[in-house]
Structure 1
Amino acid sequence: MVSAPASKTRPGLLDGLDPEQRAAASAPRGPVCVLAGAGTGKTRTITHRIAHLIRSGHVAAGQVLAVTFTARAAGEMRSRLRGLGVDGAQALTFHAAARRQLRYFWPRVVGDRPWDLLEGKLRFVGQAAQRAGVGTEAEILRDLAGEIEWAKASLVSPDDYPAVAARTQRDIPAPAARVAEVYRGYEKIKNSAQLLDFDDLLLHTTAVLEEHGEVAQEFRDRYRCFVVDEYQDVTPLQQRLLDAWLGGRDDLTVVGDANQTIYSFGGASPRPLLEFTRRFPEATVVRLERDYRSTPQVVSLANKVIGAARGRPAGSRLRLLGQRPEGPEPRFAEFEDEPTEAAAVAARIRQLLDIGVAASQIAVLYRVNAQSEAYEQALAEAEIPYLVRGGERFFDRREVRQAMAALRTATGAADDDLVTTVRRVLAGVGLTEQPPAGGAAKERWDALLSLVEVAEELSATVEGADLGRFVAELDQRAAAQHPPTVEGVTLASLHAAKGLEWDAVFLVGLAEGTMPIQHADGDDNAIEEERRLFYVGVTRAREHLWLSWSLSRHPGSRRLRRRSRFLYGLLPEDHPAAKVGRAKSGMGSGPKPRCRVCGGPLTETLDIKLGRCGKCPSNVDEDLLERLKNWRVERARELKVPAYVVFTDATLVAIAEQRPTDNGALVSISGIGPTKLERFGAEVLAVVREGDHS
């Protein structure tokens, strides 16, 4: 590695960097790949690299373009560069950089006034959906808009969408051909109005650089050095734009961590990061593994979480090394129900506040926004100020406001018992018997179900409670959840927490069906993305880390939940739940699950579900499997849910291989718990027996 001449290097510029950070910052110009684990100082490293390249005379400040994924991260990068005495280098998001370039080159390429930016696409998506005969409910439109964004980010045209959606097994809100029709109609309406959406900024800028040589040459004369942060999150569209910027050059530094890839649903892929050295064989590769954010206790837990991941490619095998002083051990807690869990979290937060931890340095993180209500309520009751990040407060959500309006209108009607009445009223605003598969519709459904659970709680605790009393209770709760506008505890989803950190982090609701999310089950890639999301949550904590789950949704209900599979192997040996977990899962001193073919131990989720090693031959009864699939199609149609909500493909294969003859054998198959047994057990056993009489 060649160092820059000392005379051209700012004295002390690289002082304070650790050996790996210094190697990355001082690497010669050309392709550089920095594999940076959580908390390892990647922003510090890449800003020092930019400053070093400029001070060494390799590039002028105005020739540097650094891009990242959020305005906050770009602002942090600009601030760090200013602190290093660098003025003139561009640090922007992909979209902001493309918008500037497109605005500059538009008059030369198009010739008329630049098209305005479409701030929100739902209105146009709604018009296209109506013309295509697709539902126009708000949650469906949000899901359709999400599919359009995924398709454009993935460089998938309306004509190609059905085939690509089928190949990638997209969870879509309508038949693929209809989604494609909505996509095509949306583009037509938007273009007729001479408007651009955010993806168009990237698409049109790429097209300008690819199709207009003189424009590309002018751009490439201006920008010679490129830096990409969070490179594991690039989409195919962003990568194509980056390629257009480079124009065959290799003065590129990328920074990323494949262990933090959590946006695959939006088209992001770690492949460009993992294949960087294949594209640039002469690239300098530096691994940052010294974690300056978290205590050794938090770092150790994070390593265990990601170390259990399946199929980790070589470029993602970073093992963090904690650099901070020792801290408290992470806390694990199991509760009877969600309100009890939320109350315990609030009580622990109060203890942290009392010992001097600032409220703004505490976060409660959950998998889906619908989980926030219990924590909003618990913190409000404890008079602890809080802020909801990346989502509305529970009682401000559109579906909740609609529900409360419907409940108020119904208060004069004759009532059955309270819970039945509430369910009947909420059925009119979208509460179905069975949950939707996922997406915005599932979040809406979860929010409405939360209101039913409030009714159940009120009915159990207040004798003679009626609808009027229930509405008053909701009004009181809504009023209580508007604390003064001050800094407070952060409530956020795990996705919204990416890139942030706090002194104390509470990871809550860590139960199967929520973490990992239910619709990920049966898809190994989706499960691994959920594991990475959990890892992101763990690595947000600097010192205090709390992990909790509850066995039921509300007081008095059956304890049907299990803690997340990601927690196995993490709990201390003396934790009560660890002993229960070992007894249930075959861990510890009890018999371990073994392959029914070769007798070897089973460790992988899918192998345990099937009861055999992946290398052992399948003895699946193909006729039975076909009958089970036909039965599942009919039941899914009756329940108006996707087929995998009834049973995943893997569960059907396990049934067809093991041919259970009674409830005991059926429930021993992973994926069939008490609820599925009660709902579908008799029918499944009947399907199994059909072959015995044919």
Structure 2
Amino acid sequence: LYRRYEQALTSYNAVDFDDLITLPVQLLENNEQVRQRWQGKIRYLLVDEYQDTNTSQYRLVQLLVGDRGKLSVVGDDDQSIYSWRGANPENLVQLESDFKGLKVIKLEQNYRSTNRILRAANALIEHNPHIYDKQLWSEKGLGDAIEVIQVANEEAETELIANQIIEQKLLRAARFKQFAVLVRSNHQSKLLELKFQAKQIPYHLTGGTSFFARSEIKDIMCYLRVLVNPDDDAAFLRIVNVPRRKIGISTLETLGQYANQRNASLFSVINEIGLQQALPAASFDRLKRLSDWFSGLQRQIDNGFARQAIDEMLDDIDYLGWLHQNSSSTVVAERRMENIHFLINSIAKELRKPVDDSPPEADATEETASLENVIKKLLLRDLLDQQSEEQADDKVQVMTLHAAKGLEFPHVFIMGFEEQILPHRNSVDEANIEEERRLAYVGITRAQQTLALTCARTRKQFGETLQCQISRFLEELPSDDLHKRGFNDADDGVANKAKGAQTLESLRGLFD
């Protein structure tokens, strides 16, 4: 199979990403004339992020430098976090045997973070074996204690982070772009995005797709848009053949022309006799069945059974089957369906929110809000999120720990500081804790002024509520540099009152 793959590349006169390294290495190894030419051309070579090089890249550097040894590399073995794609931090050790007279210069002064943050990073990474020992230090002063906050669940975690950002932005006269929320995996950002949108906090998701920009979420949102507003032509056109209903291009063209003549929406003219006369019987019948189906769902919604109508809608269209047909794997299809369930559960929660004049004995399962208002609210949030692209210079940055490497922010939150998340369950199973520790080290050292680590007591996964255990890495941080909240309910109440009083006093100071 691989030979056929290489033959296909050759026939297209193409190379893949790995070939960009492999082919030059082969050329330099097998052609002395080419090797001497390039070794004579490159007098000095500097390689950055050397801890992330793989074996082929190391060999390429050797062949380019040759015997002259005019090589400088910059690397930090404590920040090697890409072994899953072939990075080999041992390349730093190999330098000593391959390049005689190697001089090591330790850059231990840090110009980014306060000493509390650096002490925590040093203490954490001491639990890993080292190629070169070092101790980071700074002239930035001691700095604030690192906040470690345990909350009830993932909902409370995102609520806490959103409120903390709003509060700190006001108290510190900061900008949104000075805050970053770091996650171990992209899936952690879903609930955070909804919370930020609800509180109108502008954010930018780096290295991932925004929740509402995912194709499966767009599909279901368009179905819901048609349910609450049948005149939404854009939404109707997106889902008219998702899943496929054999409603062809010519049928839609005729429908569009007829609707334009009647100065009406596409959906509203489906049942008109004039359209029936303009279309073949089979084409009209397909449109009529779709219209009748939507009308039946709309009646359920009007009778106060919106959640039931949505569940029926998903079953009727067999959207999971559609995802399986159009996804690269079963796992991808199920993950996309999980996103839809997350959306529907969020909508159901909004539907059941009590209104101000609800009686105390009101049924918690009764739908008190209209589906139309809930969908309008979600659409408004999405619209505001799109408009905030114009304010790209002032957004909270949300990204994975891997994507955060090389960046810095005044105020950093690391979500999910728990076992099975950080360290990740796969790394625990594979006994690869050292790289997870390096990943936590990278996250901690992104913070310039303040750092907060959050964890939850319980989280929902695949419909089940699971008990969470705090990360083993938390036990490795120096307790004197931590300020813990939420671990003791009694103490936490006192701390919350004190914090509230301090916040109120700070707010008064802004107006003095």
Bin for the TM-score computed over the shorter chain: 0.5 to 0.7
Alignment correspondent of 1:38: none
Alignment correspondent of 1:519: 426
Question: 5 Å matches for 1:157-556?
Answer: 181=1, 185-309=4-128, 312=129, 314-354=130-170, 355-404=172-221, 417=308, 421=312, 424=315, 427-430=320-323, 444=336, 447-458=339-350, 460-461=352-353, 463-464=366-367, 474-484=378-388, 485-486=390-391, 487=393, 488-525=395-432, 527-553=433-459
Question: Within 2, Cα distance between the matches of 1:469 and 1:187?
Answer: 56
Q: 1:249 to 1:437 in 2, by over 3 A?
A: farther
Residue identity opposite 2:45 in structure 1: F
| Distance apart, 1:474 and its partner CA | 4.6
| Distance apart, 1:406 and its partner CA | 6.4
Q: 1:535 to 1:423 in 2, by over 3 A?
A: farther
Question: 5 Å matches for 1:102-113?
Answer: none
8 Å contact 1:353–1:359 — kept in the other structure?
yes
Question: Within 2, Cα distance between the matches of 1:469 and 1:521?
Answer: 45
8 Å contact 1:457–1:554 — kept in the other structure?
no
Residue identity opposite 2:467 in structure 1: L
Where relative contact order (Cα < 8 A, 6+ residues apart) is larger, the structure is 2
| Distance apart, 1:511 and its partner CA | 2.8
| Distance apart, 1:185 and its partner CA | 4.8
Alignment correspondent of 2:270: none
8 Å contact 1:511–1:549 — kept in the other structure?
yes
Residue identity opposite 1:244 in structure 2: L
| Distance apart, 1:296 and its partner CA | 0.7
Gaps of 5+ in 1: 1-180, 581-694
Question: Within 2, Cα distance between the matches of 1:515 and 1:299?
Answer: 19
Question: Within 2, Cα distance between the matches of 1:282 and 1:370?
Answer: 47
Q: What is the CA deviation profile of residues 408-467 of structure 1, one whole-angstrom value per residue up to 9, with x for unaligned ones?
A: 668666687368558755533559xxxx998x6786465345324424534553733798
Question: Within 1, Cα distance between the matches of 2:59 and 2:220?
Answer: 45
| Distance apart, 1:316 and its partner CA | 4.5
Q: 1:337 to 1:222 in 2, by over 3 A?
A: same
8 Å contact 2:151–2:486 — kept in the other structure?
no
Question: Within 2, Cα distance between the matches of 1:219 and 1:562?
Answer: 55
Residue identity opposite 2:438 in structure 1: R
- What SS class does the counterpart of residue 503 from structure 1 fall into? strand
Residue identity opposite 1:575 in structure 2: K
| Distance apart, 1:365 and its partner CA | 1.0
Question: Within 1, Cα distance between the matches of 2:333 and 2:42?
Answer: 44
8 Å contact 1:501–1:542 — kept in the other structure?
yes
8 Å contact 1:422–1:467 — kept in the other structure?
no
8 Å contact 1:294–1:542 — kept in the other structure?
yes
Residue identity opposite 2:435 in structure 1: E
Question: Within 2, Cα distance between the matches of 1:352 and 1:265?
Answer: 37
- What SS class does the counterpart of residue 305 from structure 1 fall into? helix
Q: 1:274 to 1:443 in 2, by over 3 A?
A: farther
Residue identity opposite 1:428 in structure 2: G
8 Å contact 1:394–1:400 — kept in the other structure?
yes
- Superposition RMSD in Å: 3.4
8 Å contact 1:345–1:506 — kept in the other structure?
yes
- What SS class does the counterpart of residue 374 from structure 1 fall into? helix
8 Å contact 2:121–2:445 — kept in the other structure?
yes
- What SS class does the counterpart of residue 543 from structure 1 fall into? strand
Between structure 1 and structure 2, the one with the greater Rg is: 2
- What SS class does the counterpart of residue 348 from structure 1 fall into? helix
Question: Within 2, Cα distance between the matches of 1:540 and 1:466?
Answer: 44
Residue identity opposite 2:415 in structure 1: V
Alignment correspondent of 1:645: none
Q: 1:539 to 1:446 in 2, by over 3 A?
A: farther
Gaps of 5+ in 2: 227-238, 240-292, 301-306, 355-365, 490-512
Q: 1:483 to 1:568 in 2, by over 3 A?
A: farther
| Distance apart, 1:189 and its partner CA | 3.1
More deviation in 279-288 or 220-229? 279-288
Residue identity opposite 1:385 in structure 2: P
TM (normalized to structure 1)?
0.51
Q: 1:189 to 1:341 in 2, by over 3 A?
A: same
| Distance apart, 1:469 and its partner CA | 7.3
Question: Within 2, Cα distance between the matches of 1:574 and 1:389?
Answer: 29
| Distance apart, 1:261 and its partner CA | 0.8
Question: Within 2, Cα distance between the matches of 1:388 and 1:521?
Answer: 27
TM (normalized to structure 2)?
0.67
1:575 and 2:484 matched: yes
What percentage of residue pairs aligned between the two structures are identical?
Answer: 31
Residue identity opposite 2:162 in structure 1: A
8 Å contact 2:148–2:485 — kept in the other structure?
no
Q: What is the CA deviation profile of residues 169-213 of structure 1, one whole-angstrom value per residue up to 9, with x for unaligned ones?
A: xxxxxxxxxxxx4x5554443332222233222222222322222
- What SS class does the counterpart of residue 546 from structure 1 fall into? strand
- What SS class does the counterpart of residue 407 from structure 2 fall into? coil
8 Å contact 1:369–1:443 — kept in the other structure?
no
Q: 1:194 to 1:235 in 2, by over 3 A?
A: same
Number of corresponding residues: 391
Question: Within 1, Cα distance between the matches of 2:475 and 2:180?
Answer: 24
8 Å contact 2:459–2:467 — kept in the other structure?
no
Question: Within 1, Cα distance between the matches of 2:37 and 2:423?
Answer: 48
1:563 and 2:470 matched: yes
